Each structure stands twice: as C-alpha cells, then as structure tokens.
Amino acid sequence: MTLPPDPALARLKARVADIPLGAKAEEIGTVLAIGDGLATVAGLPGARLNEILEFPGGTLGFVLSLEEEVLHAAFLDPVIGVGAGDRVIRRDALLSVPVGEALLGRVVDPLGRPLDGLPAPDAAERLPTERPAPSIIERDFVSEPVETGLLVVDALFAVGRGQRELIIGERQTGKTAIAVDAIINQAGSDLVCIYVAIGQRMTAVRRVIEAIHGRGASGLTIVVMAEATAEPGLRWLAPFAATSMAEWFRDRGRHALIVYDDLTKHAATHRELALLSGQPPGREAFPGDIFYLHARLLERSAKLSAARGGGSLTALPIAEIEAGNLSAYIPTNLISISDGQIVTSATLFAANQRPAVDIGLSVSRVGGKAQWGAVKSQAGRLRLDYAQYLEMKMFARFGGFGDAAMKARMARGERIGALLAQDRFAPLATVTQIALLLALNEGHLDEVPPDRIPALKSVLPDILAAEPVLDTLRARPEKLDDAERSALLAAVRTALDRP
Ligand SMILES: Nc1ncnc2c1ncn2[C@@H]1O[C@H](COP(=O)(O)OP(=O)(O)OP(=O)(O)O)[C@@H](O)[C@H]1O
Ligand SMILES: [Mg+2]
C-alpha cells in the first residue's frame, strides 16, 4: 500500500533542503582593553569603519578606526560590565538612523532613540550616518534666502538656502541665540529645522528646547542631543546622524536648516577619541584628519539642482573662540570650509549691542545673491555707513565734530545701531525690515531719538499687516513700486505718531 504524498511533508523537505549545512565562518572578536568610552578589539579582520559591534549585555559600539591587528570601537551605550577578554560580535550593519516625517517635533539622541519620554519615532526608513556629499553636477547655485528674522543677518550677512554660514565668537556672546532665533522665525514657513546639541550642558539644551517648543516652532523641528555627559561615541556621531535626518528632506525637494552647536566641542571629542586610540597628535594635539572630518560634514549641505528635486540643506555651524582669537586651528579650519562667518564680539555684547555681531569681521560670501531684491536695494549702503560711524565714534571721544555733514552721519549711524539691536525671540518679518530700512534711507528716522526705535519696531508689524497694498511684497519682496514705497513710509509715520 502506498500512502498519498503528504503536501506538508513535501513543504518541510523543501525548507530543510534550503538550509546550508556547511561550516559558516563567523568572526568573534575579543576586547583587549577598555577606556573612557573606547574599546580596543582584536580578532575582527573583516570589520569595516562605522560598522556596529555588539558587546556583552547588548551594549553597542561602532568601529572608529582600524589598525592592522586591532580596531578601536567607540561605545554608543554606557559601558557597564564590559571588560578585557569579553566577546565582541559583528552586527554586519553600518551605523544608520531612522529618518522621515515621524522625527519632526521630537527630541532624540544620535541613534534616533527618544529623549522626550515619548515612544520611539515610528520611522519606516533608515539612512546611513555617513553619506557622500552631492557632486558638482547635482548642485545648483544658492538663490533663495533663509529668513532669519534678525535684521543684522538678513540685511548685512544674508544666508541663502544651501549655504554654510559659521557663527563664531567667544563664550556667552549670543551665538546660540542667533541660531535659535533663526529657527523660531521659521514657525509657519516651509523650512525644516534640525538643532544638534554636541557636548553642551543639559540645562543649556533644555533652554533651547523650551525656546523652540514654547514659540510654535516645534512642528517642523528636530532636536538631536548628545550632551556633555553622553558617551564620546554619541557626541562624535551626533552631527553626522543629524545631517542624515536633514538630508531626507533635502533629497525630497524640501528645504532644511541644520544648526551644529557646536563644532569646537565636536573637534574636542574627536581629539579625545583619537588620542585614546593612539593616533599621532598633530597641531594643538588634534589628529591630522580633523579638517577632513568637518569638511566632509559641511559639504553635505547644498542646494540641489532641479534634476535632483531642487531641495536644499543650509548649515549654521557654531564655533567658540578664546580671547577673540579667530586664527586658532579649529576656527581657521571651519572658516575655510564655510561660505562666510557671523562673528559675535564680547565687547559689543558687554556694551549691550545685541545681537553682538561684529560688522567688520563678519561676511557672507554667497548671501547677497540669495537676498530678496527689495531688502538688497535698501541695505546697499548700510554696512559702509555703519562701519564709518563706528570709526568716527572712536575719534569723537577726543573732541566733538563741528561739521554739520559729520553730525548728520553720526546721527544716521546711531539710528542704524538702534535698528540692528534686537531682543531675543522678536523676529522681524521681511516686510517690516524693508519698511525700517526704507525709512532710514529716506531720512525719516534722523530726527527720531534712538531710544524710540524699539517701540517703533514693536508697533510697526501690526500697522503693516493692515495694509493690503503690501500683499505682493509680503509674498515675494523682489522689488518696490511707488505705491508700496509710500505705503511703507506712511506706516512708519503712523507708528512714530503713536505716543
Ligand atoms: N539679542 C539678545 N538680547 C538679549 N539677550 C541676549 C541676546 N542674545 C543672547 N542673549 C543672552 O545672552 C546670554 C548668552 O547667550 P547664548 O547662550 O546664546 O550665548 P552663547 O555664545 O551661545 O554662549 P555659550 O558660549 O555658553 O554657548 C543668554 O543669557 C541670552 O539670553
Ligand atoms: Mg551656545
């Protein structure tokens, strides 16, 4: 008697036949030494840079540098109960982060793990943390502005979408405030913002998060955080991981802005890890690849060509200097790989000129091409006039100027200073900026006492908003026609007439 063939048995046989029964080589490494967030591992000849390794207890790390016999891995988790002699296995995967819409509004660590007490972001996609920068063919010229809402930036050192503008200055001179104000001004715009905190105190990051979330800018913002007490590996990874999160938007034809706060601390982390892994120290004890590290990071910010969707990623890296020394190693590196710098000055900050932007040392190498036409035409002489005023002011200390023309210039300069000063969290819409600059250029502010200017700035937006003639200017401030000019000046007069 023959049994009918059993279909279940046939399926089972087919499955068993597919299982490779031969020997399978698996690399198992051994921890040789552990120190300060770094492990030296032997026995993983196949491991690649940025590959994820698993230590006992599920502790994760990644390959930071390779030598002939050993490799150095940086930990991504607190190192508890890992010691010399422990086994290390390869996860056979490179470092990657969750990306996409789901991250908006969230506070995450550099691996995309939640830090805001909410469940992990529900992201369907992942991207590697190291990605090549767009090639020349894939890029386009920077042509649209990022509106920061800060008059001193938008008028004098405009930042274009796709540009890299360094914010550099001594500690506590309002560097973070400039970047955070730029983020807050995006409430209601199409620009996705990513704020990356590297090696900062927890309280400082908290203040930034509260500022962003308390002012309606959280919907399009991602905060990536690797604070001072985070594993060095996480601090090292933070800017790269956050850039991948930003690129997801850039590559879909959207626009993103990323703030690295700050790259001086990132450089210090890189030095720490390099020295611990025995790399030869170079200038200021930084390893030789520090320039390449930040160059490859900032090159990922770009304006993409129409064929690639026309998206953009703008970078505002922040760097700290000591004693005003812009020519130290890391600052000069960063200056040379960005498209300009906004320099904050401790002297101006102490003299209550805030934002404390040093007009003489700051520059934007592409911004003018991206500036709105109407802003550009009104801001034309501003920088020169203000620089001349600052110079004359120095000499005026030695004795007054009798000359009427000189006096007029001094008066104009003083008003420019008052216009450029701006409180935190008080962004000015582009149309308000144009109205103020126009009034200044036409001499309407020359008789106004400088201490009246803050009040002018606070009442003007509402008066302008009630002006339907300005609708086209609000939508696209490319040029001013006569009707718009007179509407703007009338609004300024109305504002000045208010008690
Ligand atoms: N435009 C401004 N008007 C008034 N206060 C300001 C302004 N900008 C910054 N500040 C204040 O100055 C202080 C320092 O600002 P901020 O933290 O931005 O400086 P920083 O250069 O980033 O400092 P750090 O070196 O510690 O990172 C903060 O208390 C901030 O509120
Ligand atoms: Mg800061």
Please indicate, yes or no, if residue 278 is contained in any of the structural domains: yes
Where in the sequence numbering do the catalytic residues fall? 365
Interatomic CA distance for residues 420 and 409, integer angstroms: 16
CB of 265 closer than 6 angstroms to any ligand 1 atom:
no
Q: What's the chain's Rg over C-alpha atoms? A: 28
CB of 199 closer than 6 angstroms to any ligand 1 atom:
no
Q: Within this chain, do residues 129 and 223 fall inside the same structural domain, yes or no?
A: yes
Taking CA atoms only, the protein residue closest to ligand 1 atom 10 is 174
Q: Residue 489 C-alpha to ligand 2 middle, in angstroms?
A: 38
Q: Within this chain, do residues 284 and 383 fall inside the same structural domain, yes or no?
A: no
b/e for 320-332, b at 16 or more Cβ within 10 A? Answer: bbeeeeeeeebbe
Q: Within this chain, do residues 269 and 140 fall inside the same structural domain, yes or no?
A: yes
Question: 57 is in which domain, residue-wise?
Answer: 28-94
CB of 172 closer than 6 angstroms to any ligand 1 atom:
yes
First-last CA distance in the chain: 110
Please indicate, yes or no, if residue 187 is contained in any of the structural domains: yes
| Angle, in degrees to the nearest 10, between helices 175-184 and 202-214 | 30
Check residue 26 and give its pLDDT.
75
418 sits in which H/E element: helix 404-420
Mutating to test ligand 1, I would choose from 424, 425, 428, 457 the residue with most ligand atoms within 8 A of its C-beta, which is 424
Structure tokens at 331: 């600052």
| Closest ligand 1 atom, residue 422 Cα | 1
Number of other residues whose CB lies within 10 A of the CB of residue 392: 14
| Closest ligand 1 atom, residue 355 Cα | 1
Q: Within this chain, do residues 416 and 428 fall inside the same structural domain, yes or no?
A: yes
| Closest ligand 1 atom, residue 177 Cα | 18
CB of 200 closer than 6 angstroms to any ligand 1 atom:
no
Pair type for strands 312-320 and 340-344 = unpaired
CB of 147 closer than 6 angstroms to any ligand 1 atom:
no
Q: Within this chain, do residues 452 and 330 fall inside the same structural domain, yes or no?
A: no
Number of the ligand closest to the Cα of 168: 1
Mutating to test ligand 1, I would choose from 150, 172, 358 the residue with most ligand atoms within 8 A of its C-beta, which is 172
Q: Residue 135 C-alpha to ligand 1 middle, in angstroms?
A: 37
CB of 355 closer than 6 angstroms to any ligand 1 atom:
yes
Q: Within this chain, do residues 145 and 275 fall inside the same structural domain, yes or no?
A: yes
Q: Within this chain, do residues 241 and 294 fall inside the same structural domain, yes or no?
A: yes
Domain count, the chain: 3
Q: Residue 198 C-alpha to ligand 1 middle, in angstroms?
A: 17
- Beta-bridge partner residues of 304: 139
Interatomic CA distance for residues 26 and 185, integer angstroms: 53
Structure tokens at 101: 């819409």
Interatomic CA distance for residues 336 and 294, integer angstroms: 11
Interatomic CA distance for residues 122 and 378, integer angstroms: 47
Which of 94, 110, 133 is the last residue in one of the domains? Answer: 94
CB of 261 closer than 6 angstroms to any ligand 1 atom:
no
Q: Within this chain, do residues 428 and 465 fall inside the same structural domain, yes or no?
A: yes
Check residue 401 and give its pLDDT.
62
Report yes or no: 159 and 145 within 8 Å, Cβ to Cβ.
Answer: yes
Structure tokens at 37: 């967030």
Pair type for strands 255-261 and 312-320 = parallel
Number of the ligand closest to the Cα of 320: 1
Q: How would you write the pLDDT of the chain (499 residues) with one tens digit per residue? A: 666 777 788 888 888 887 777 776 678 899 999 988 999 999 999 999 999 999 999 999 999 999 999 999 999 999 988 999 999 999 889 999 999 999 999 999 999 999 999 999 999 999 999 999 999 999 999 999 999 999 999 999 999 999 999 999 999 999 999 999 999 999 889 999 999 999 999 999 999 999 999 988 888 999 999 999 999 999 999 999 999 999 999 999 999 999 999 999 999 999 999 999 989 999 999 999 999 999 999 999 999 999 999 999 999 999 999 999 999 999 999 999 999 999 999 999 999 999 999 999 999 998 789 999 999 999 988 989 999 898 888 777 766 666 888 888 899 999 999 999 999 999 999 999 999 999 999 999 999 999 999 999 999 999 999 999 999 999 899 999 999 999 999 999 999 998 7
Which of 332, 356, 371 is the last residue in one of the domains? Answer: 371
Q: Residue 264 C-alpha to ligand 2 middle, in angstroms?
A: 11
Report yes or no: 55 and 39 within 8 Å, Cβ to Cβ.
Answer: yes
Q: Residue 170 C-alpha to ligand 2 middle, in angstroms?
A: 10
Q: Residue 211 C-alpha to ligand 1 middle, in angstroms?
A: 12
Domain harbouring 148, CATH code = 3.40.50.300
| Amino acid, single-letter form, for residue 17 | A
CA atoms within 13 A on the CB side of 177: 18
Check residue 188 and give its pLDDT.
86
